[in-house]
Amino acid sequence: MARYSPSIQELINRLGALPGIGAKSATRVALHILNMPEEDAKALADSITNARKNTFRCSVCQNLTDSDPCPICSDPSRDNTTVCVVESPRDILTMERIHEYKGLYHVLHGVYDPAGNKSMADITLNQLIERLTLHPEINEVIMATNPTIEGNATALYVSRLLSNSGIKITRLASGLPLGSELEFSNDYTLTSAFKGRVDITS
């Protein structure tokens, strides 16, 4: 006999498919939603629908936004000579949290990962190259991909690709443990890694 009705089980399954949510957490969240006042549950559903409908990639940095250019790209106070390259939109939130970086960003939406069937064509590398070509004022690209095998390989590939461009290519310092992710780094470690970034152009 099924533990829950089909509709409840479907909700649990959908929630359980989200990253970082296991079966127990999915069940707990599903039951919480079902116990919410109807107007709150409807507001939650509407917010998901609206976010899906109104969110797209910034034409400049590829970050998720509901305005184009996004607020960071359109901010005149940002340093437009540096571009920090990150794997995902959530990495921008992490970098902004430490208040150390005042430049612009570029979101790759992944990294080079042959084992995961993700090639360079599957990330926004072409958009980055086009952006650097159109904006000669950019003189430094900071590779802030995660310090994993795939993140390091992507950073190395980009540095070699831009080796003759005259643009300085730097990498966050090794204060970040190998295999870790920016999202889970504490502010002190991330700030130290940012300040101690190294040149990987050569």
Give pLDDT tens digits for 9-53.
999 999 999 988 999 999 999 999 999 999 999 999 999 999 999
- The answer to whether residue 114 scores a pLDDT higher than 90 is no
Question: Can you tell me the mean pLDDT for 104-122?
Answer: 88
- Which pLDDT tens digit goes with each residue over 56-79? 999 999 999 999 999 999 999 999
Spell out the domain ranges in the chain.
6-54, 64-199
Q: Smallest Cα–Cα separation from 130: which of 59, 40, 30, 179? A: 59
CATH 3.40.1360.10 fits 64-199, yes or no: yes
Question: Can you tell me the mean pLDDT for 102-123?
Answer: 89
pLDDT number for residue 1: 43
Q: Which is higher by pLDDT, 80 or 202? A: 80
* pLDDT tier for residue 7 given thresholds of 50, 70 and 90: very high
Determine the Cα–Cα distance for residues 163 and 85; give it in Å rounded to an integer: 16
- The answer to whether residue 195 scores a pLDDT higher than 80 is no
Beta bridge partners of residue 170, listed in sequence order: 142, 199
Q: Which residues contact 5 (CB under 8 A, 6 or more apart)?
A: none
Question: Can you tell me the mean pLDDT for 175-201?
Answer: 65
Domains 6-54 and 64-199 share a fold: no
3-state DSSP call for residue 64?
A: strand
**Mean pLDDT in the chain?**
89
Determine the Cα–Cα distance for residues 158 and 128; give it in Å rounded to an integer: 10
- The answer to whether residue 178 scores a pLDDT higher than 70 is no
Question: Alpha carbon of 15 to those of 12, 21, 26, 27, 129: distances in Å?
Answer: 5, 7, 5, 8, 37
* pLDDT tier for residue 177 given thresholds of 50, 70 and 90: low
- State which fold the 6-54 domain adopts: Helicase, Ruva Protein; domain 3 (1.10.8)
pLDDT number for residue 148: 85
Q: Phi/psi class of residue 169: alpha, beta or left (left: φ > 0; alpha: ψ in -120 to 50)?
A: beta
